[in-house]
Structure 1
């Protein structure tokens, strides 16, 4: 005989506190719970549906399309919990929305970075699948994010992101009292030489889990730190949110075009209808 325990597969998810019908098919995933009202502020309407620990969830509508957002906290372990529990209540598309550090020249603070794939420099995804499994963003999500950035006239870059488990040592920054992890002095330069665009902490796990489960994922982040110039400013804070929100509406149109064409999935030849 066993005692009562919380079932993570119950009708209401253990960590997020959401159930079926609480969220839309597409969910935007910021890290900071305080970014939720900033995201919903660009929508037509929204209401908070759950709040527990670092996870705050709101659902609403943007440009006629149902949309939700859930904060994940900092890092891949908590982001993986969010993806797991949102998938259990029917979510099929995940858009990471956040901030990042740029590591290539010619990238300005306030620019957007749209992830095409990610370096898995974090441990969470390795607990799911072998280390050489790719963390690829869904091509439809990337296309929708690019189209949204173009329509909003925001400067953006598309390419490979590095996701880490540490804001300090894992990103080549000194730790307490100047501590330097082995290899940290070469980390950023090695990533730069590999044409990696930016560093953040969640995209690789979100993309890996989505691929494992046959779902869609991608990421768009605003550049706050430029590791080439040393600049750090919270400029263009809502640009990633606006881009991801519009991309959600465009994805709905893309899916509709595929259905109308009798195609299994959207492809560029179907286009995206104008607003």
Structure 2
């Protein structure tokens, strides 16, 4: 072995580990004695983060607490880590803002609806992973969406999140100035998820752009809100323009999700099922049982991905 080879390998390994850790883009946090994650009812002064969360490798987030608890039950069974009681405690039981569940290396967290709600959750989630000294973490948003030009029940793996003008960016006003951040997502991760869908071969899955809006009604060109100032022809032209720009579904969280994960050096993906084709209507009319089955599709795809990563397939 050449002189210094062992030392160089150690240095490379240390650099690799450092690169795989969560990055916090906030120098002020280093000056804080304790960090209170208020909306999680957790804090570094009251909880041992590395002991509680240090083994986390996968974080799955979704809007509804009940959906994330259902995913927890599902992934526990898939990984052979089922609770003897059949139940899983809500780690954030001290608050009613979000719900959080853990099974082995998988953390499931609800984020509510819309950019403000998921942004608050992500700030605290990213700090939680940082304080826990987690490395090589993959974060995936699983949820529902409105499709464009797709059969209901199709699953969309997001290539990039675009705004309502079809630009791949997240715009936010900070200290009175407009800040624009990239909303690209991990291309290799998207391809891995597509391969997983082919392997389970249970439903149609595509990679496409996802439009993230600030509103469910006018912001998504619906005709059925309390207020509407445009004609049906204008709505259809807009949605067809979106399709031509590569948009295959619409939801309300992906832009800030992509932006914050990018800034923190975390591999991230968005996997959403479409509940309807917006070119054919605005209201979700499928039966409850059909919708429940649709909502399980992102869980199945991501569950297969996690099992494959852990060598359990």
> Same fold judged by TM-score > 0.5?
yes
Q: How many positions carry a matched residue from both structures?
A: 241
| Aligned position for 1:114 | 157
Q: How does 1:138-177 map to 2 (within 5 A)?
A: 138-153=186-201, 154-174=203-223, 176-177=225-226
Q: Which has the higher helix share?
A: 2
Between stretches 108-117 and 144-153, larger displacement belongs to 144-153
SS of residue in 1 equivalent to 2:294: coil
How far apart are 1:53 and its partner, in Å?
Answer: 2.9
Aligned Cα RMSD in Å? 2.9
What are the residue-to-residue correspondences of 1:24-173 with 2, within 5 Å? 24-44=56-76, 45=82, 46-51=88-93, 52-61=95-104, 66-90=105-129, 92-104=137-149, 107-121=150-164, 125-127=170-172, 130-131=179-180, 133-153=181-201, 154-173=203-222
Q: Is the 8 A contact 2:214 2:252 kept in 1?
A: yes
Match of 1:191 among 211, 217, 242: 242
1:14 aligns with 2:38: yes
Q: Which runs of 5+ in 2 are unaligned?
A: 1-31, 44-48, 77-81, 83-87
- SS of the equivalent of 2:261 reads helix
Gaps of 5+ in 1: 1-7, 254-273
Q: TM-score, normalised by structure 2?
A: 0.68
Q: Distance in 1 between matches of 2:253 and 2:156?
A: 14
Change (3 A) 1:9 1:59: farther
Distance change (3 Å), C-alpha of 1:228 and 1:175 = closer
Distance 1:198 1:150 in 2: 20
Aligned to 1:260: none
Residue 257 of structure 1 aligns with which residue? none
Quote the Cα distance in structure 2 between the aligned partners of 1:135 and 1:162: 11
Q: 1:4-34 CA deviation, whole Å, 9 max, x = no partner?
A: xxxx994451112345244423211111112
Task: Answer 1 or 2: which has greater strand percent.
Answer: 1
Aligned 8 A contact 1:38 1:238 in 2: no
What's 1:245 paired with? Answer: 303
